[in-house]
Structure formats: C-alpha cells, structure tokens
C-alpha cells in the first residue's frame, strides 16, 4: 500500500515537474517595445533541449485583460543560451492601442509551453499607416 501511495504522489507531481522544466527554457519574460511602426519582441533562453521553434503570439489589451492571442511569427531554435528578436511589422494594421506578447516554445515531440506575458506595449497607429500597409500588401 505504501508503494501505491508513493506512485500516486509521483504521478500527481509529474505535471508540476514538467512545467518547471519548460519554464526554464526562456529566461524571465519576453520584452516588447514599439519602434517606428513595429514592435520588437526580445527574449533569451537558458536551455533549448528538445526545442524545435518559438512562436510569437500577440493580443490586444481590452480593459484590464488581454484578448485572444494569435500567432504573428515563428523563429527556429538556435541553441542553448541564445538571444532572439522578432519584429512585428503587422501591428499597425490593427486599430492601435495596447498590445502584449508571449512566446510559445514548441518542442520536437509536439508539446508546447507558453512564456509569461510581456509588459504592455502601447502602439500608435494612424489611418494612413493602415491604408499604406494594405496597399503595400496588395503588391507582395
């Protein structure tokens, strides 16, 4: 009976251990800042064992909470202790406002883990920028 109790306790703790392993892939939370019509998202990794790629997700803050996150780009994993930077050039297509980002770590076995959410990033947008962006997109 003692072994059964110990086995059940280990099974209950396993998800916590897996989460802890995923959490150390990305150091701290991603940093995002507005730069000339784009938002630059930066993060660093501690360990990339089993990591295939990173998806960058964005959500617009509505009230006090972020809305739905959606993937805005991907970067392949480089290796342990790397620094990453992703430039979100499509952010101005939205109506402006405040955005947050997170990085999803995609592992080779198909599982994934999300980073903490970045601090909010205010984005100034104008109708002219959105219109020009749409015109450029037609010619791509």
Tokens of 81: 């202790």
Do the Cβ atoms of 69 and 58 come closer than 8 Å?
Answer: yes
In the prediction, which pLDDT does 11 show?
Answer: 41
The three-state secondary structure class of 93 is helix
Domains delineated in the chain: 25-138 (2.60.40.10)
Helix, strand counts (H, E) of the chain = 2, 9
Confidence of residue 47 (pLDDT cuts 50, 70, 90): confident
Provide CB contacts within 8 A for 25, sequence distance 6+.
45, 46, 47, 48, 51, 105, 113
pTM reported for the whole predicted model: 0.71
Mean pLDDT of 37-59: 93
């Amino acid at each position: 009976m003692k072994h059964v109790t110990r086995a059940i306790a280990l099974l209950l703790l396993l998800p916590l251990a897996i989460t802890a392993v995923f959490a150390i892939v990305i150091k701290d939370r991603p940093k995002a800042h507005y730069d000339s019509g784009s938002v630059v998202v930066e993060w660093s990794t501690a360990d990339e064992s089993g990591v295939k790629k990173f998806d960058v997700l964005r959500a617009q803050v509505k009230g006090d909470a972020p809305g739905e996150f959606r993937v805005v780009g991907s970067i392949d994993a480089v290796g342990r202790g790397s620094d990453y930077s992703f430039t979100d050039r499509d952010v101005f297509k939205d109506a402006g406002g405040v955005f947050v980002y997170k990085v999803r770590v995609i592992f080779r076995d198909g599982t994934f883990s999300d980073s903490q959410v970045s601090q909010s990033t205010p984005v100034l947008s104008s109708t002219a920028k959105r219109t020009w962006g749409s015109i450029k997109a037609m010619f791509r």
